[in-house]
Copies of this chain bind each other. A is one copy, B any other.
Amino acid sequence: MQVRSDATSVLKGGAMSQLPQLQDAYLLISSGRIQDYGPMAHLPEGIQFKHHIPAQGRFVFPSFIDSHTHLVFAAPREEEFVMKIKGATYAEIAAKGGGILNSARKLQQLSEDELFERTLPRVREIIRTGTGAVEIKSGYGLTTKDELKMLRVARRIGRETPLTVKTTFLGAHAVPNGYSKSDYIDLIIKDMIPAVAEEKLADYIDVFCEEGFFTPEETERIVEEGKRFGLKPRLHANQLARSGGVQAGVKTGALTVDHLENIGEEEIELLQKSNTLPVALPGAAFFLRLPQAPGRKMIDAGLPLVLASDYNPGSSPSGNMPLIIALACIQMRITPEEAINAATLNAACALELQHDLGSITRGKVANLFITTPMPSVAYLPYAFGSSLVETVMLNGKIIADEQPAPKK
Protein backbone atom coordinates (compact mmCIF):
# COMPACT_ATOMS: atom_id res chain seq x y z
CA MET A 1 0.00 0.00 0.00
CA GLN A 2 1.33 3.41 -0.97
CA VAL A 3 1.28 5.80 1.98
CA ARG A 4 2.78 9.21 2.70
CA SER A 5 2.80 10.74 6.14
CA ASP A 6 3.25 14.24 4.75
CA ALA A 7 2.09 14.98 1.25
CA THR A 8 1.04 18.50 0.47
CA SER A 9 3.70 19.62 -1.96
CA VAL A 10 5.02 18.55 -5.35
CA LEU A 11 7.77 15.98 -5.74
CA LYS A 12 10.63 17.31 -7.82
CA GLY A 13 13.25 15.43 -9.81
CA GLY A 14 14.90 12.68 -7.78
CA ALA A 15 12.17 12.76 -5.12
CA MET A 16 9.77 11.41 -7.76
CA SER A 17 11.50 8.03 -7.70
CA GLN A 18 10.41 7.45 -4.09
CA LEU A 19 7.09 5.68 -3.60
CA PRO A 20 6.79 4.84 0.12
CA GLN A 21 4.95 1.56 0.66
CA LEU A 22 3.67 -0.51 3.56
CA GLN A 23 3.40 -4.27 3.07
CA ASP A 24 0.85 -6.41 4.91
CA ALA A 25 -0.88 -3.27 6.11
CA TYR A 26 -4.25 -2.09 7.34
CA LEU A 27 -6.09 1.06 6.28
CA LEU A 28 -8.93 2.59 8.29
CA ILE A 29 -11.51 4.79 6.57
CA SER A 30 -14.03 6.81 8.52
CA SER A 31 -16.51 9.48 7.36
CA GLY A 32 -15.04 9.34 3.86
CA ARG A 33 -11.51 10.14 5.01
CA ILE A 34 -8.37 8.19 5.72
CA GLN A 35 -8.22 7.80 9.47
CA ASP A 36 -5.16 5.64 9.97
CA TYR A 37 -2.93 2.95 8.53
CA GLY A 38 -0.04 0.79 9.60
CA PRO A 39 1.34 -2.74 9.61
CA MET A 40 -1.30 -5.40 10.32
CA ALA A 41 0.62 -6.38 13.45
CA HIS A 42 -0.15 -2.92 14.88
CA LEU A 43 -3.87 -2.91 14.03
CA PRO A 44 -5.58 -1.42 17.10
CA GLU A 45 -7.73 -3.93 18.95
CA GLY A 46 -11.45 -3.64 19.46
CA ILE A 47 -12.29 -1.68 16.31
CA GLN A 48 -15.85 -2.27 15.09
CA PHE A 49 -15.81 -2.43 11.28
CA LYS A 50 -18.91 -1.64 9.27
CA HIS A 51 -17.22 -3.04 6.17
CA HIS A 52 -14.02 -4.94 5.72
CA ILE A 53 -12.28 -5.34 2.35
CA PRO A 54 -9.55 -7.99 2.27
CA ALA A 55 -6.77 -7.23 -0.20
CA GLN A 56 -4.32 -10.14 0.00
CA GLY A 57 -1.76 -10.08 -2.80
CA ARG A 58 -3.18 -6.78 -4.01
CA PHE A 59 -1.89 -3.20 -4.11
CA VAL A 60 -3.69 -0.13 -2.80
CA PHE A 61 -3.09 2.99 -4.89
CA PRO A 62 -4.32 6.53 -4.33
CA SER A 63 -6.78 7.37 -7.12
CA PHE A 64 -5.31 8.98 -10.20
CA ILE A 65 -5.81 12.67 -10.74
CA ASP A 66 -6.23 13.59 -14.37
CA SER A 67 -5.31 17.26 -14.57
CA HIS A 68 -5.91 17.87 -18.29
CA THR A 69 -9.01 16.59 -20.11
CA HIS A 70 -11.69 17.67 -22.54
CA LEU A 71 -14.09 15.09 -21.08
CA VAL A 72 -17.27 16.94 -22.05
CA PHE A 73 -17.81 16.48 -25.78
CA ALA A 74 -20.65 15.55 -28.07
CA ALA A 75 -19.25 12.70 -30.16
CA PRO A 76 -16.09 10.79 -31.03
CA ARG A 77 -14.19 11.67 -34.21
CA GLU A 78 -12.95 8.28 -35.33
CA GLU A 79 -13.52 9.20 -38.98
CA GLU A 80 -10.68 11.74 -38.67
CA PHE A 81 -8.47 9.01 -37.16
CA VAL A 82 -8.98 7.01 -40.36
CA MET A 83 -8.32 10.07 -42.55
CA LYS A 84 -5.02 10.59 -40.73
CA ILE A 85 -4.04 6.92 -41.21
CA LYS A 86 -4.65 7.44 -44.92
CA GLY A 87 -2.29 10.41 -44.88
CA ALA A 88 -4.59 13.43 -44.62
CA THR A 89 -2.94 16.49 -43.10
CA TYR A 90 -4.40 18.57 -40.29
CA ALA A 91 -5.23 21.26 -42.85
CA GLU A 92 -7.00 18.77 -45.15
CA ILE A 93 -9.04 17.44 -42.25
CA ALA A 94 -9.93 20.99 -41.21
CA ALA A 95 -10.97 21.78 -44.81
CA LYS A 96 -13.39 18.82 -44.65
CA GLY A 97 -14.98 20.23 -41.51
CA GLY A 98 -12.85 18.26 -39.08
CA GLY A 99 -10.89 19.19 -35.99
CA ILE A 100 -12.00 21.34 -33.07
CA LEU A 101 -14.65 23.08 -35.16
CA ASN A 102 -16.16 19.65 -35.91
CA SER A 103 -16.54 19.02 -32.18
CA ALA A 104 -17.94 22.53 -31.71
CA ARG A 105 -20.57 22.09 -34.43
CA LYS A 106 -21.79 18.84 -32.86
CA LEU A 107 -21.78 20.22 -29.33
CA GLN A 108 -23.68 23.36 -30.26
CA GLN A 109 -26.60 21.18 -31.42
CA LEU A 110 -27.04 19.44 -28.07
CA SER A 111 -28.99 20.57 -25.03
CA GLU A 112 -27.25 20.73 -21.69
CA ASP A 113 -29.02 17.54 -20.58
CA GLU A 114 -28.05 15.68 -23.75
CA LEU A 115 -24.44 16.74 -23.35
CA PHE A 116 -24.45 15.57 -19.74
CA GLU A 117 -25.91 12.19 -20.74
CA ARG A 118 -23.29 11.74 -23.48
CA THR A 119 -20.50 12.48 -21.02
CA LEU A 120 -21.67 10.08 -18.30
CA PRO A 121 -20.34 6.87 -19.95
CA ARG A 122 -16.89 8.47 -20.10
CA VAL A 123 -17.18 9.41 -16.43
CA ARG A 124 -18.00 5.81 -15.55
CA GLU A 125 -15.15 4.58 -17.73
CA ILE A 126 -12.46 6.75 -16.15
CA ILE A 127 -13.70 5.93 -12.65
CA ARG A 128 -13.41 2.25 -13.58
CA THR A 129 -9.76 2.72 -14.60
CA GLY A 130 -8.79 4.42 -11.35
CA THR A 131 -9.37 8.15 -11.80
CA GLY A 132 -10.82 10.01 -8.83
CA ALA A 133 -10.44 13.65 -9.78
CA VAL A 134 -10.42 15.32 -13.15
CA GLU A 135 -9.96 18.69 -14.75
CA ILE A 136 -12.46 19.41 -17.53
CA LYS A 137 -12.01 22.19 -20.08
CA SER A 138 -14.52 24.02 -22.19
CA GLY A 139 -13.47 24.92 -25.74
CA TYR A 140 -15.90 23.01 -27.96
CA GLY A 141 -18.55 25.68 -27.49
CA LEU A 142 -16.88 28.70 -29.07
CA THR A 143 -19.98 30.82 -28.48
CA THR A 144 -20.74 32.35 -25.10
CA LYS A 145 -23.88 30.25 -24.74
CA ASP A 146 -22.18 26.99 -25.63
CA GLU A 147 -19.06 27.62 -23.56
CA LEU A 148 -21.31 28.23 -20.56
CA LYS A 149 -23.26 25.07 -21.40
CA MET A 150 -20.07 22.98 -21.42
CA LEU A 151 -18.89 24.39 -18.12
CA ARG A 152 -22.30 23.85 -16.51
CA VAL A 153 -22.16 20.22 -17.60
CA ALA A 154 -18.64 19.91 -16.16
CA ARG A 155 -19.78 21.40 -12.85
CA ARG A 156 -22.79 19.07 -12.83
CA ILE A 157 -20.46 16.07 -13.21
CA GLY A 158 -18.67 17.28 -10.10
CA ARG A 159 -21.97 17.54 -8.22
CA GLU A 160 -23.79 14.43 -9.42
CA THR A 161 -21.03 11.82 -9.79
CA PRO A 162 -18.34 10.67 -7.35
CA LEU A 163 -15.61 12.42 -9.37
CA THR A 164 -13.96 15.53 -7.98
CA VAL A 165 -14.03 18.07 -10.81
CA LYS A 166 -12.10 21.28 -11.50
CA THR A 167 -13.14 23.29 -14.53
CA THR A 168 -11.19 25.41 -16.98
CA PHE A 169 -12.51 27.99 -19.40
CA LEU A 170 -10.84 27.41 -22.79
CA GLY A 171 -12.79 29.72 -25.05
CA ALA A 172 -9.48 30.39 -26.81
CA HIS A 173 -9.29 26.84 -28.21
CA ALA A 174 -9.81 27.81 -31.87
CA VAL A 175 -11.30 30.70 -33.82
CA PRO A 176 -14.83 29.81 -34.97
CA ASN A 177 -15.94 30.43 -38.54
CA GLY A 178 -17.31 33.87 -39.21
CA TYR A 179 -14.91 35.63 -36.84
CA SER A 180 -11.59 37.37 -37.30
CA LYS A 181 -9.21 36.33 -34.57
CA SER A 182 -9.23 39.78 -33.02
CA ASP A 183 -13.03 39.92 -33.01
CA TYR A 184 -13.16 36.50 -31.37
CA ILE A 185 -10.61 37.55 -28.74
CA ASP A 186 -12.78 40.59 -28.07
CA LEU A 187 -15.77 38.28 -27.58
CA ILE A 188 -13.77 36.13 -25.15
CA ILE A 189 -12.64 39.13 -23.16
CA LYS A 190 -15.77 41.25 -23.19
CA ASP A 191 -18.46 38.62 -23.12
CA MET A 192 -17.30 35.13 -22.24
CA ILE A 193 -14.93 35.74 -19.31
CA PRO A 194 -17.35 37.99 -17.41
CA ALA A 195 -20.22 35.53 -18.00
CA VAL A 196 -18.15 32.54 -16.88
CA ALA A 197 -16.99 34.41 -13.78
CA GLU A 198 -20.49 35.69 -13.00
CA GLU A 199 -21.82 32.13 -12.80
CA LYS A 200 -18.63 30.89 -11.08
CA LEU A 201 -18.37 28.19 -13.74
CA ALA A 202 -14.58 27.96 -14.01
CA ASP A 203 -11.63 27.57 -11.68
CA TYR A 204 -9.02 28.23 -14.36
CA ILE A 205 -8.45 29.83 -17.74
CA ASP A 206 -6.55 28.17 -20.58
CA VAL A 207 -5.45 29.25 -24.07
CA PHE A 208 -4.35 27.06 -26.99
CA CYS A 209 -1.03 28.90 -27.40
CA GLU A 210 0.17 27.27 -30.63
CA GLU A 211 1.25 28.24 -34.12
CA GLY A 212 -1.86 28.82 -36.21
CA PHE A 213 -4.02 29.29 -33.10
CA PHE A 214 -3.15 31.95 -30.48
CA THR A 215 0.21 33.75 -30.21
CA PRO A 216 1.99 34.24 -26.88
CA GLU A 217 0.96 37.91 -26.95
CA GLU A 218 -2.71 37.07 -27.53
CA THR A 219 -2.43 34.39 -24.85
CA GLU A 220 -1.08 36.87 -22.32
CA ARG A 221 -3.84 39.34 -23.09
CA ILE A 222 -6.61 36.75 -22.62
CA VAL A 223 -5.02 35.25 -19.53
CA GLU A 224 -4.46 38.58 -17.81
CA GLU A 225 -8.11 39.41 -18.34
CA GLY A 226 -9.08 36.02 -16.84
CA LYS A 227 -6.89 36.70 -13.83
CA ARG A 228 -8.78 39.96 -13.20
CA PHE A 229 -11.86 37.76 -12.77
CA GLY A 230 -10.14 35.29 -10.45
CA LEU A 231 -9.36 32.63 -13.07
CA LYS A 232 -5.84 31.26 -12.66
CA PRO A 233 -4.05 30.37 -15.88
CA ARG A 234 -2.96 26.97 -17.17
CA LEU A 235 -1.84 26.79 -20.81
CA HIS A 236 -1.68 24.52 -23.84
CA ALA A 237 1.97 25.07 -24.80
CA ASN A 238 4.62 23.75 -27.18
CA GLN A 239 2.68 20.83 -28.65
CA LEU A 240 3.20 21.61 -32.31
CA ALA A 241 6.23 23.95 -32.20
CA ARG A 242 8.51 25.95 -29.92
CA SER A 243 5.88 28.64 -29.90
CA GLY A 244 6.80 30.63 -26.81
CA GLY A 245 3.99 29.01 -24.85
CA VAL A 246 6.17 28.07 -21.89
CA GLN A 247 7.49 31.63 -21.75
CA ALA A 248 3.94 33.00 -21.78
CA GLY A 249 2.97 30.57 -19.03
CA VAL A 250 5.86 31.43 -16.74
CA LYS A 251 5.41 35.14 -17.37
CA THR A 252 1.73 35.09 -16.44
CA GLY A 253 2.29 32.84 -13.43
CA ALA A 254 0.42 29.89 -14.92
CA LEU A 255 -0.17 26.98 -12.57
CA THR A 256 0.78 24.57 -15.38
CA VAL A 257 2.03 24.46 -18.96
CA ASP A 258 0.70 21.39 -20.74
CA HIS A 259 1.93 19.27 -23.71
CA LEU A 260 5.61 20.35 -24.06
CA GLU A 261 6.46 18.01 -26.93
CA ASN A 262 8.62 20.81 -28.35
CA ILE A 263 10.77 22.30 -25.63
CA GLY A 264 14.51 22.81 -25.27
CA GLU A 265 17.04 23.86 -22.64
CA GLU A 266 15.66 27.38 -22.54
CA GLU A 267 12.16 26.25 -21.56
CA ILE A 268 13.51 23.78 -19.00
CA GLU A 269 15.64 26.50 -17.38
CA LEU A 270 12.65 28.83 -17.24
CA LEU A 271 10.56 26.14 -15.54
CA GLN A 272 13.37 25.45 -13.05
CA LYS A 273 13.16 29.06 -11.90
CA SER A 274 9.36 29.15 -11.69
CA ASN A 275 6.48 27.53 -9.80
CA THR A 276 4.77 26.57 -13.06
CA LEU A 277 4.33 22.78 -13.28
CA PRO A 278 5.13 20.91 -16.52
CA VAL A 279 2.31 18.57 -17.61
CA ALA A 280 3.05 15.88 -20.21
CA LEU A 281 0.24 14.19 -22.15
CA PRO A 282 1.62 10.89 -23.48
CA GLY A 283 -1.69 9.75 -24.98
CA ALA A 284 -1.77 12.65 -27.41
CA ALA A 285 1.81 12.23 -28.61
CA PHE A 286 1.21 8.48 -29.02
CA PHE A 287 -2.04 8.93 -30.92
CA LEU A 288 -0.70 11.74 -33.13
CA ARG A 289 2.63 9.94 -33.74
CA LEU A 290 4.59 12.89 -32.33
CA PRO A 291 7.75 12.58 -30.25
CA GLN A 292 6.89 12.50 -26.56
CA ALA A 293 7.62 15.47 -24.32
CA PRO A 294 11.08 14.99 -22.76
CA GLY A 295 9.77 13.64 -19.46
CA ARG A 296 13.03 11.92 -18.55
CA LYS A 297 15.00 15.08 -19.17
CA MET A 298 12.59 17.21 -17.16
CA ILE A 299 12.80 14.92 -14.13
CA ASP A 300 16.59 14.78 -14.45
CA ALA A 301 16.55 18.60 -14.48
CA GLY A 302 14.79 18.52 -11.10
CA LEU A 303 11.35 19.46 -12.38
CA PRO A 304 8.08 18.19 -10.83
CA LEU A 305 6.59 16.36 -13.82
CA VAL A 306 2.84 15.83 -14.03
CA LEU A 307 1.11 13.28 -16.30
CA ALA A 308 -2.44 13.63 -17.63
CA SER A 309 -4.55 11.95 -20.30
CA ASP A 310 -5.70 14.88 -22.47
CA TYR A 311 -8.86 12.76 -23.02
CA ASN A 312 -10.50 14.37 -26.08
CA PRO A 313 -12.13 13.14 -29.29
CA GLY A 314 -9.48 14.44 -31.70
CA SER A 315 -5.99 13.78 -30.43
CA SER A 316 -6.24 11.52 -27.36
CA PRO A 317 -9.42 9.47 -27.22
CA SER A 318 -8.60 7.73 -23.94
CA GLY A 319 -8.77 8.59 -20.27
CA ASN A 320 -7.25 5.28 -19.16
CA MET A 321 -4.62 6.50 -16.70
CA PRO A 322 -2.88 3.13 -16.18
CA LEU A 323 -2.31 3.04 -19.94
CA ILE A 324 -1.14 6.69 -19.93
CA ILE A 325 1.37 5.71 -17.24
CA ALA A 326 2.52 2.75 -19.33
CA LEU A 327 2.99 5.04 -22.36
CA ALA A 328 5.08 7.39 -20.21
CA CYS A 329 7.26 4.55 -18.90
CA ILE A 330 7.73 3.01 -22.34
CA GLN A 331 8.00 6.08 -24.54
CA MET A 332 9.56 8.63 -22.13
CA ARG A 333 11.66 6.13 -20.18
CA ILE A 334 10.45 7.29 -16.81
CA THR A 335 10.17 4.70 -14.06
CA PRO A 336 6.89 3.29 -12.74
CA GLU A 337 7.39 5.15 -9.44
CA GLU A 338 8.03 8.45 -11.22
CA ALA A 339 5.00 7.98 -13.46
CA ILE A 340 2.70 7.11 -10.55
CA ASN A 341 3.83 10.14 -8.56
CA ALA A 342 3.33 12.29 -11.66
CA ALA A 343 -0.27 11.05 -11.95
CA THR A 344 -1.18 11.26 -8.25
CA LEU A 345 0.50 13.68 -5.83
CA ASN A 346 2.03 15.98 -8.46
CA ALA A 347 -1.23 15.92 -10.41
CA ALA A 348 -3.11 16.87 -7.23
CA CYS A 349 -0.81 19.89 -6.92
CA ALA A 350 -1.57 20.76 -10.55
CA LEU A 351 -5.25 21.06 -9.56
CA GLU A 352 -4.59 22.57 -6.10
CA LEU A 353 -6.16 19.48 -4.54
CA GLN A 354 -3.06 18.32 -2.66
CA HIS A 355 -4.54 18.97 0.77
CA ASP A 356 -7.39 16.52 0.13
CA LEU A 357 -6.25 14.16 -2.60
CA GLY A 358 -3.27 12.63 -4.40
CA SER A 359 -1.96 10.29 -1.72
CA ILE A 360 -2.96 7.90 1.03
CA THR A 361 -2.31 10.22 3.94
CA ARG A 362 -4.08 10.54 7.27
CA GLY A 363 -6.86 13.09 6.95
CA LYS A 364 -7.10 13.08 3.18
CA VAL A 365 -10.25 11.98 1.33
CA ALA A 366 -10.44 8.19 0.86
CA ASN A 367 -10.02 8.12 -2.92
CA LEU A 368 -8.19 4.93 -3.79
CA PHE A 369 -8.29 1.69 -5.75
CA ILE A 370 -7.26 -1.88 -5.08
CA THR A 371 -5.61 -3.80 -7.91
CA THR A 372 -6.04 -7.40 -8.95
CA PRO A 373 -3.36 -9.65 -7.42
CA MET A 374 -0.01 -8.59 -8.90
CA PRO A 375 3.64 -8.94 -7.97
CA SER A 376 4.87 -5.33 -7.77
CA VAL A 377 4.06 -1.72 -8.52
CA ALA A 378 6.06 -1.96 -11.75
CA TYR A 379 3.60 -4.59 -12.97
CA LEU A 380 0.99 -1.87 -13.54
CA PRO A 381 2.74 -0.18 -16.51
CA TYR A 382 4.46 -3.43 -17.58
CA ALA A 383 1.15 -5.22 -18.16
CA PHE A 384 0.15 -2.36 -20.44
CA GLY A 385 -2.91 -4.05 -21.94
CA SER A 386 -4.40 -5.44 -18.74
CA SER A 387 -7.24 -4.09 -16.61
CA LEU A 388 -5.72 -4.20 -13.15
CA VAL A 389 -8.07 -1.90 -11.23
CA GLU A 390 -10.34 -4.24 -9.30
CA THR A 391 -12.03 -2.23 -6.54
CA VAL A 392 -12.60 1.52 -6.66
CA MET A 393 -13.33 3.63 -3.58
CA LEU A 394 -14.17 7.31 -3.91
CA ASN A 395 -15.03 9.54 -0.96
CA GLY A 396 -14.85 6.45 1.24
CA LYS A 397 -17.52 4.58 -0.74
CA ILE A 398 -17.05 1.52 -2.96
CA ILE A 399 -17.96 2.60 -6.48
CA ALA A 400 -16.95 -0.47 -8.46
CA ASP A 401 -15.84 -3.91 -7.40
CA GLU A 402 -14.79 -6.77 -9.63
CA GLN A 403 -13.08 -8.80 -6.94
CA PRO A 404 -14.25 -12.38 -7.40
CA ALA A 405 -16.60 -13.66 -4.70
CA PRO A 406 -14.79 -15.88 -2.18
CA LYS A 407 -14.96 -19.59 -2.97
CA LYS A 408 -17.33 -21.49 -0.73
Which A residues are within 8 Å of any B CB, using their own CB? Answer: 75-76, 78-79, 81-82, 85-87, 125, 129, 283, 286-287, 289, 317-320, 323-324, 329-331, 333-336, 375-376, 378-379, 381-387
Contacts and interface: CB of A to CB of B under 8 A. Distances in A.
Integer count of this chain's copies in the complex: 2
Given A317-B382, A375-B75, A335 B387 contact: no
Contacts of A378: 78-79, 81-82
Nearest to A75: B375
Contact of A125 (B81, B334, B386): B386
Given A75-B375, A76-B375, A287-B330, A335 B382 contact: no
Nearest to A289: B330
A318 B385 contact: yes
A75 B383 CA distance: 12
Nearest to A383: B317
Nearest to A81: B382
B330 A286 contact: yes
Contacts of A376: 78-79
A85 B329 contact: yes
6 contacts: A81-B382, A82-B336, A85-B329, A286-B330, A317-B382, A317-B384
Given A81-B378, A86-B335, A379-B76, A318 B384 contact: yes
Contacts of A75: 375
Nearest to A329: B85
A382 B76 contact: yes
A166 to B, nearest CB: 22
Contacts of A318: 383-386
Given A82-B335, A82-B336, A385 B323 contact: yes
A354 to B, nearest CB: 26
